[in-house]
Amino acid sequence: MDNEKRWIKKIKKNASDSAANELVSNYYKEMYAFNYKQTLDADLSLDLTQEIFISALQSIKNYDSTKASFRTWLYKLASNRLVDYYRSKSYKYAQIEQSIDDYEFEDDYDIAESLEYKDDIEKVTSLVNQLDTHSQQIIRLKLFGDYTLQEISTIETIPLSTVKTRYYAALKLIRKGMEEANHG
């Protein structure tokens, strides 16, 4: 953690490339995994991760360590970026032209199981994308970022009771949507 504070200080003070590289390297795999869990697309996850770090480094002067840890701040940026992506025209266009030929499977996987899992993730993602922005952020941080509801309350700077209400209401909508998709 001390290294992290030094890197941030160097970046803020003199735009240190080496400190920026260290900071990015420290969180790159974690942010990539966060994106990949929600997109199941390696190239897209790489792009989103890169955009998140570009945004983080451009706005690091606004980062306040007294309000949240850098990791928490980064997850908030990542969550916001994913919300923006799923609202974008490029996402909607990609959905129209995507086909089964785009998927590559390794021989040791059960293709049917992989497709079923991917289909479930896509259904959940689609349902999450229909939620309001605040609920989306809570669901993304909880399901894909493994944050507790208390941590999300701190990240989003809203009362824990509000987080719980939005989280459980969103879960109820997602469950209902999954049941309709599986039975309809």
Q: Using one digit for the tens of pLDDT, what is the confidence trace for 153-166?
A: 988 889 999 999 99
In a shared domain, residues 64 and 119: no
Choice between 114 and 37, residue whose per-residue pLDDT is larger:
37
pLDDT in tens, 30-89: 999 999 988 888 999 999 999 999 999 999 988 888 888 899 899 989 988 988 888 776
Q: Residue 96's pLDDT band (boundaries 50, 70, 90)?
A: very low
CATH number of domain containing 176: 1.10.10.10
In a shared domain, residues 95 and 115: no
**Number of structural domains the chain divides into:** 2
Domain assignment present for residue 105? The answer is: no
Domain that holds residue 128: 111-184
- Final residue belonging to a domain, choices 68, 99, 130: 99
* CA gap 29, 32 in Å, rounded: 5
Q: Residue 112's pLDDT band (boundaries 50, 70, 90)?
A: low
Contact 78, 52 (CB under 8 A): yes
pLDDT for residue 110 is more than 70: no
